[in-house]
Amino acid sequence: MSKTAIKNVTPATANTNATDVDTMCNDVQSASIKLSKAVAAKFIAAAANDGKIASGQAKAGKRSEVDLFVDEGEALCKKYEKYYTDYIVRGNKALYELLSSIYAYALRIETSASKSKILKRMRDELEKLGVKTTSATHWLTTIVRFIIRNVDRQTAFNYKRVLAVAMEDNIPANDLAGYIEQHGGVMKFKDIVGAAAQGSSKAGEAKERAQLMRDFLLAWSQWSKERLNYSEFMGYRQRQLDGKKVKDEAKHEPSTFRHFFGLQQPDGQFLIVGAAEFSKEFEDVIFKHMTYDFSKDMEAARSTVKELQAEQQKAKEQLAAKK
Partners of 254 in the beta sheet? 279
Phi/psi at 55 (5° precision): -65, -40
Helix H or strand E encompassing 194: helix 188-220
Mean pLDDT of 24-49: 51
DSSP 227-281: ------EESTT---TTSS--S-GGGSPBPSS-EEEEEE-TTS-EEEEEEE--BHH
Per-residue pLDDT tens digits for 268-284: 898 988 888 788 888 88
Phi/psi at 261 (5° precision): -110, 115
- For helices 153-168 and 90-110, give the axis angle rounded to 10 degrees: 60
**The pLDDT value given to residue 125:** 92
Partners of 104 in the beta sheet? none
Per-residue pLDDT tens digits for 128-139: 988 888 878 889
**The pLDDT value given to residue 299:** 74
155 CB-near residues (< 8 Å, 6+ apart): 148
CA 126 to CA 117: how far, in whole Å? Answer: 14
Mean pLDDT of 209-220: 87
DSSP 59-122: HHTT--HHHHHHHHHHHHHHHHHHHIIIIIIHHHHHHHHHHHHHHHHHHHHHT-TTHHHHHHHH
